[in-house]
Structure 1
Amino acid sequence: MDFNAQWNLWMEWLGSFLYSVRRTTSLDAFFLNSSYLRESVKLLILGSIIETGRRLCQWLIERFRLQYFLSARFDEGDPAYEWLILFLTQENVWKNSRDFIVTARSSKRKWAVKSGPGAAIEGNADYVPSFGAPQLFRWKGHWIEITRLKDNQTVPYGSFKSFSSLQIIIYTREMSVLSTLVEEARIRYNETSKQHVTIHSVDSPNYGPGSIWNNVKVKFRRPLNSLILEEGFIESLIGDADEFLGLEDWYVEAGIPHRRGYLLYGPPGTGKTSTVYAVAGELGLEIYSLSLASNFIDDPFLQRAVSSIPKHCLLLIEDIDCAFPSREEAGELDDQRMRMYNGIGPPPFMMPQHSKVTLSGLLNMIDGVSSEDGKLFFATTNHIDRLDPALLRAGRIDKKIQYKMATKMQAWALYKRFFPESRFANIVAKAEGDNGTNQSDNAILLDEPLGSDKKISRLTELASQFAESVPADEFSTAELQGYLLTCKMKPLDAVSGILEWIEQERLDKRERAEREEKRKEKLRESRLRAKTAIVADLVGPLQEQAASEDASPTRSSSNPIPEPVTPSQTSRPQLENDPDTVRSLKINGVHISDP
């Protein structure tokens, strides 16, 4: 019984007492009802004794917990939270749960329950327990209690976001029990993740106590031989990264920050991101991926996100050049602002948004005082010329790796990758000359490879024909892969149709280039019209003022004043009627030209 309960009891008794006094007609009658007073006093004393006993028991329990309990909290988004969830799932702690959250199965990590020993529930749905009720289980002779806590935080625009955490209570006085449990959970997590690559990303700003990295996905590791790159390239990169991770003590002794940065640059579709996934899978590293194009990522958020990354992981920033807009993009933004100034453009919230990350914030993230050590930093870009030289200096970017369009050797390797000897060795030679054979069924899939040297050499010959037909340094490996996917079971059709595909691709690229050139031309015209309108608005009032001064009586009547010609009467209609020929304009001595 707390203070409020006692106060309410006192007020109730006092009200009853005053009511009794008011109802009595004499002092004798009041004392005749004194039994009610005695019962009220007894009740007050009993309540005080019970409240004192409750507080004493609570104090004893708290003292007992301080002496004989260990308590720890794991916040969602932190790597240790994932370790513990996997540990509890493998220990079948949630086997008696009766409340589930059913979601469609995806690459996003969810620790679902199991239908039996060692067998996960089959199907296209995940049955995730809500973890609402506290769970008690025994592990290595110690009782452990698990409770899931939720904290709802207000985020922008008046919505709420829920952040979860796990509270663990171990009934022991030995700290080593907690450390052993956490270490075993980490080992189990690493063993389970060997066949996968874990990718942490940020899909929304985090305003609560949880970790910033609020989205975790799992993908299968990519085999190194699936990367169609120059021979020895990926092995050299992995060897360099592995050497860096193993030399932490050397870096400390030498007084050099234990950081290493890689920049992968080149045309899109050449394998930059695939290389990062392959390196992470081979070295057993988790990927923390950031996109600087997100409208909620600014310098403080970037610093907080990178500071929360653990050691021995891989930080990936894709398309890092988006933090440095090109001259064309900057011109488009200026054009939108000018149109908005004239009242014909979109409102501010509909204008294109650019990255809020500054160069200074990016540099501080990489090698500033508060930057984290012990991680690999990978950045990708399609336009290395947009990057500031300060970003590319040694110590920030230690190794720059260029990716080019596919060579003939890469085309040959890609064809062999699609049509391996183990599955397509049984290409019947006589079927090629048989007019009655359906050419779309020219490959027979086998469960076991055949050992015919003639057939194997024929498949290699087809790969050489395919490579010879592909021009070097013109198409990316992604484009060639897209073509081979259209005939993935037809190795002969892949060779016979490659020339036609190349001509069609060249035609499509020319059309795209023409459309892009027309778009830029319209953009230049629109920008010129906007500048013309602004100058006309500024010069027009000055013309009117000059005309009124010239029309004063002091001027000789023999020299009549010509009627002023405003830009709205000449220049602007001329520009609007003939935008294809007008490239420069001069209004009252002010020259406007297309940049």
Structure 2
Amino acid sequence: MGVVKRPRRRISARRLSNFWTCVPSSQLMASNTPQHELAKHIAAGSSSGSPGSLFSHITDNPFFTAGFGLAALGVAARTGQKGLQHGAAFVRRRMLVDLEITRHDDAYPWVLQWMTNYHRAQQAGTRPLVQNGLLSRVLNRIDPRMHHLQVQTFTPQDGPSHAAHFSFVPGPGKHFLRYKNAFILVDRQRERNSLNVKDGVPFETINLTTLYSHRNVFEDIFAEAHQIYQQSQEGKTVIYNSMGTMWQPFGDAKRKRPLDSVVLERGVKERIVEDMEAFIASRKWYLDRGIPYRRGYLLYGPPGTGKSSFIQAVAGHLDFNIAILNVSERGLTDDRLNHLLTKVPRRTVVLLEDVDVAFMNRKTPGPDGFASASVTFSGLLNALDGVASAEERIIFLTTNHVERLDEALIRPGRVDMTVRLGEATEYQMEQLWDRFYAEFDASGEAKQRFMAKVRQLGLIESVSTAALQGLFLYNKDDTEGAISMVEGLTAGHKAESPVGIPGHVDVNEVTSR
């Protein structure tokens, strides 16, 4: 027979709980039966089913409360940090002002020199203090110092070879200054991973930070720094050289050469100077008529006749600097040439020396198998007066062989005045003698004997002024030595026939005026 299984009757937790509640407490305490343990677990499970009891059970757990407290502290700290950052940024925007100066800006070396002078005056105790009220007297007692310094060593030109001067400039880092009762944070930053591929100099910036209410001190700092720079360059001519696509000062600034130190034929020097002064004063006249505001000069003649010396002297006379560009330089392209001529520093004349050599034997490779230059003739013409050529520019071209120049290069618009500087004339020889021996030959008797011997040897207009000056330099204080050694001068080039170039200045025509 089959066994009939009776279905089990499920007992709900509530009924079981009610059952155990009917048992006296004394029996429950003494009972150790499995049913008793089961009832306890069921009762605990039924009591924890409510939300309040679950939260109470969780909060009573010490591990949970400790972890929750640490998490809350982390969130609060992170929120407070962000709040402080936003608050500091808000205060910085509202109360502080920043100024950035990059290394490529002209004012960068000015500000460094100003800071150097500030540090020097601070060390010597000669920095002026502002005495204007109680607050100023209190601030004067607060004197921040620069602690990150960098040394610059240079040798004076007029001292012994072993002499050296040291100058301390602010190095990379943060510096605190006080200028006119305004506290300034100076942050000089140097990018070690960013270098200029042309000169290997790392990229640098200077950041100035002060209160917004003191922002006007920036203008005062730049004005004072520019004044210091002008004082350091006063009486000097800066020579620029091309460095990549930029102009960089080449060496130390040279002392201005006096205009009368270059002896040319009578009236030639004055004619060129007058033309340049008239051009500089006629900027508005050119612009009103739509004429490109630029001027070109061509100086040609044998070597040693004073072409480069005159350009240096006239630049110093007009308070201009000189930018020298070698057109035959290897690696100089048309684009780079055009860029350089459009980025000429202010009040600077451009000098293109020996332009005839730039386009001779251009296909002949050098010792390393490469051609000497890559500037094309059309590229030079477009750079001088093309559509993209620069204005407000004075350019000088020099050559020893004017006959080798193409007419397209020396036409008006590219070259407006052409002047030949030839061998020493009788006038130039007398002027050079007076410059060297005027104090030793007050009566002029030695000069007459010298000139008579020069005429006898046929050296007039046959010897360069450089050769004649070399003779006088060898006999600085000896007139008789100069007279006796004049025979050693050899006749050079004879004067060429007049050149038919528009704008050509004839020396004989100028002399006869």
Same fold (TM over 0.5): yes
1:254 deviates by 1.5
The 1:174–1:313 alpha-carbon spacing in structure 2 relative to 1, beyond 3 Å, is farther
Secondary structure of 2:79's counterpart equals helix
- The residue aligned with 2:254 is 219
What is the aligned counterpart of 2:474 among 486, 507, 513?
486
The 1:169–1:302 alpha-carbon spacing in structure 2 relative to 1, beyond 3 Å, is farther
- The residue aligned with 2:226 is 186
Normalising by structure 2, we get a TM-score of 0.69
Cα offsets for 1:11-67 (capped at 9, x unmatched) = xxxxxxxxxxxxxxxxxxxx9xx8666555544443443343333333333334434
Cα offsets for 1:56-100 (capped at 9, x unmatched) = 333333334434444333343543334434443444479656643
- The residue aligned with 1:495 is 483
Structure 2 CA distance, aligned partners of 1:222 and 1:92? Answer: 34
Structure 1 CA distance, aligned partners of 2:377 and 2:68? Answer: 76
Question: Is 1:248 paired with 2:267?
Answer: no
Structure 2 CA distance, aligned partners of 1:215 and 1:46? Answer: 62
- The residue aligned with 2:85 is 58
Alignment RMSD: 3.5
- The residue aligned with 2:184 is 144
1:502 deviates by 2.2
- The residue aligned with 2:169 is 129
The 1:406–1:369 alpha-carbon spacing in structure 2 relative to 1, beyond 3 Å, is same
Question: Is 1:81 paired with 2:116?
Answer: no
User: Which deviates more, 264-273 or 81-90?
Assistant: 81-90
Structure 1 CA distance, aligned partners of 2:271 and 2:458? Answer: 27
Structure 2 CA distance, aligned partners of 1:39 and 1:264? Answer: 91
1:274 deviates by 1.2
- The residue aligned with 1:100 is 150
- The residue aligned with 1:522 is none
Matches within 5 A, 1:228-243: 228-243=263-278
Sequence identity of aligned pairs in percent?
A: 28
- The residue aligned with 1:354 is 372
The 1:353–1:70 alpha-carbon spacing in structure 2 relative to 1, beyond 3 Å, is farther
- The residue aligned with 1:558 is none
Letter in 2 for 1:205: G
1:396 deviates by 1.6
Matches within 5 A, 1:406-485: 406-421=424-439, 424=440, 455-465=442-452, 467-468=454-455, 469=457, 471-485=459-473
- The residue aligned with 1:324 is 359
The 1:351–1:460 alpha-carbon spacing in structure 2 relative to 1, beyond 3 Å, is same
Letter in 2 for 1:473: E
- Asked whether the equivalents of residues 115 and 169 of structure 2 are also in contact (C-alpha less than 8 Å), the reply is no
Secondary structure of 2:252's counterpart equals strand
Secondary structure of 1:320's counterpart equals coil
Question: Is 1:166 paired with 2:206?
Answer: yes
- The residue aligned with 1:49 is 76
- Asked whether the equivalents of residues 322 and 355 of structure 1 are also in contact (C-alpha less than 8 Å), the reply is no
Secondary structure of 1:268's counterpart equals coil
- The residue aligned with 1:578 is none
Structure 2 CA distance, aligned partners of 1:236 and 1:155? Answer: 44
Structure 2 CA distance, aligned partners of 1:296 and 1:173? Answer: 51
Structure 1 CA distance, aligned partners of 2:357 and 2:206? Answer: 38
Structure 1 CA distance, aligned partners of 2:341 and 2:249? Answer: 14
Matches within 5 A, 1:323-342: 323-325=358-360, 329=361, 333=364
Secondary structure of 2:278's counterpart equals helix
Letter in 2 for 1:480: L
Letter in 1 for 2:471: Y
Structure 1 CA distance, aligned partners of 2:220 and 2:386? Answer: 35
- Asked whether the equivalents of residues 196 and 203 of structure 2 are also in contact (C-alpha less than 8 Å), the reply is no
Secondary structure of 2:408's counterpart equals helix
- Asked whether the equivalents of residues 194 and 284 of structure 1 are also in contact (C-alpha less than 8 Å), the reply is no
The 1:53–1:167 alpha-carbon spacing in structure 2 relative to 1, beyond 3 Å, is same
1:129 deviates by 2.7
What is the aligned counterpart of 1:195 among 226, 232, 235?
235
1:285 deviates by 1.5
The 1:57–1:418 alpha-carbon spacing in structure 2 relative to 1, beyond 3 Å, is farther
Structure 1 CA distance, aligned partners of 2:147 and 2:305? Answer: 48
Question: Is 1:364 paired with 2:382?
Answer: yes
1:195 deviates by 0.8
- Asked whether the equivalents of residues 462 and 492 of structure 1 are also in contact (C-alpha less than 8 Å), the reply is no
1:197 deviates by 0.6
Cα offsets for 1:320-370 (capped at 9, x unmatched) = 233311xxx357x2xx6xxxxxxxxxxx87136322112232223222333
Cα offsets for 1:409-458 (capped at 9, x unmatched) = 2122222222231xx35xxxxxxxxxxxxxxxxxxxxxxxxxxxxx5333
| Structure 2 unaligned spans of 5+ | 1-57, 124-145, 494-513
- Asked whether the equivalents of residues 200 and 217 of structure 1 are also in contact (C-alpha less than 8 Å), the reply is no
Structure 1 CA distance, aligned partners of 2:152 and 2:453? Answer: 48
Letter in 2 for 1:456: S
The 1:82–1:291 alpha-carbon spacing in structure 2 relative to 1, beyond 3 Å, is farther
Letter in 2 for 1:374: E
Structure 2 CA distance, aligned partners of 1:69 and 1:226? Answer: 55
- Asked whether the equivalents of residues 412 and 466 of structure 1 are also in contact (C-alpha less than 8 Å), the reply is no
Structure 2 CA distance, aligned partners of 1:58 and 1:322? Answer: 64
1:272 deviates by 1.2
Matches within 5 A, 1:389-400: 389-400=407-418
The 1:294–1:479 alpha-carbon spacing in structure 2 relative to 1, beyond 3 Å, is same
Q: Which has the larger radius of gyration?
A: 2
Aligned residues: 407
- Asked whether the equivalents of residues 323 and 349 of structure 2 are also in contact (C-alpha less than 8 Å), the reply is yes
1:374 deviates by 1.9
1:222 deviates by 0.3
- Asked whether the equivalents of residues 362 and 373 of structure 2 are also in contact (C-alpha less than 8 Å), the reply is no
The 1:318–1:463 alpha-carbon spacing in structure 2 relative to 1, beyond 3 Å, is same
- Asked whether the equivalents of residues 76 and 214 of structure 1 are also in contact (C-alpha less than 8 Å), the reply is no
1:223 deviates by 0.8
Normalising by structure 1, we get a TM-score of 0.60
Cα offsets for 1:528-578 (capped at 9, x unmatched) = xxxxxxxxxxxxxxxxxxxxxxxxxxxxxxxxxxxxxxxxxxxxxxxxxxx
- The residue aligned with 1:6 is none
Structure 2 CA distance, aligned partners of 1:83 and 1:376? Answer: 26
Structure 2 CA distance, aligned partners of 1:166 and 1:463? Answer: 62
The 1:184–1:478 alpha-carbon spacing in structure 2 relative to 1, beyond 3 Å, is same
Cα offsets for 1:216-260 (capped at 9, x unmatched) = 530000011110112232233222222222222222211112211
The 1:129–1:181 alpha-carbon spacing in structure 2 relative to 1, beyond 3 Å, is closer
Larger helix percent: 1
- Asked whether the equivalents of residues 96 and 212 of structure 2 are also in contact (C-alpha less than 8 Å), the reply is yes
The 1:183–1:373 alpha-carbon spacing in structure 2 relative to 1, beyond 3 Å, is farther
Structure 2 CA distance, aligned partners of 1:176 and 1:378? Answer: 42
| Structure 1 unaligned spans of 5+ | 1-30, 108-121, 337-347, 426-454, 510-595
- The residue aligned with 2:336 is 301
